Amino acid sequence: MLIPHGIYDPVRNRGHINLGLSHDTSQFACDSFRWYWTRIGKRCYPEATSILWLCDCGGSNAANQYLFKHDLQLLADQIGVEIRVAHYPSYCSKYNLIERRLFPHITRACQGLLFDTLDTVVALMRKASTRTGLRTTVNVLRRHYETGRKATEPMKQNRQIVFDNLLPKWNYRALPQYASVIN
């Protein structure tokens, strides 16, 4: 089973895909971004004090999931950078840039070819590019992600997420709370 998690940087016109071998969970989504940030994002934006995520409203990074917000807070604590999340409302993901500027090119690079090995998939996805400069990187996350995790009452009560005044259901921030920053 391959679970793709895409990250698109519109400033640099770069895409990144982390392939999971387990399950699409909030831990997987946060691990995907952690991998990207510590190896690529932090080098490209060394002075960043905040990161903006534009996310769909469902799946592993769903707007209504306590577990995602809990895992997001842990990630912000670990990387030491504020993460601002803006979710597209349900059925509006077509307006998300990643849907037009990365995923079609990944699909085109893989179209009509057999995914016989993991190395084949990685090589095909890495070839995704455009004449306007899109380039992609691909990584494999081999961790096993458990399904069926439940948000506990302490998780719900003690969350540190700061909701925006405008559309708080879809717009919020995870502010770093601890000094456990990844170097």
The pLDDT, as a whole number, for residue 22 is 96
What element of type H or E holds 83? strand 82-87
pLDDT digits (tens, 9 = 90+) for 96-146: 999 999 999 999 999 999 999 999 999 999 999 999 999 999 999 999 999
Tally Cβ neighbours within 10 Å of residue 177. 12
Tokens of 38: 């510590």
The pLDDT, as a whole number, for residue 178 is 65
The pLDDT, as a whole number, for residue 180 is 47
Q: Which residue in this structure is represented by tokens 């179209």?
A: 111
DSSP state of 30: H
Q: How far apart are CA 19 and CA 121, in angstroms?
A: 9
The pLDDT, as a whole number, for residue 93 is 85
Give the DSSP per-residue string, 87-115. Answer: EPPTT-GGGSHHHHHTHHHHHHHHTT---
The pLDDT, as a whole number, for residue 157 is 83
**Are the beta carbons of 173 and 69 closer than 8 angstroms?**
no
Q: How far apart are CA 132 and CA 129, in angstroms?
A: 8
Residue stretches of the chain with pLDDT short of 50 = 179-183
Of 37, 17, 29, the C-alpha closest to 60 is: 29
The residue ranges of every structural domain in the chain are: 3-174
pTM score, whole prediction: 0.91
Q: Left, alpha or beta for 167 (phi > 0: left; psi -120 to 50: alpha)?
A: left
The pLDDT, as a whole number, for residue 90 is 87
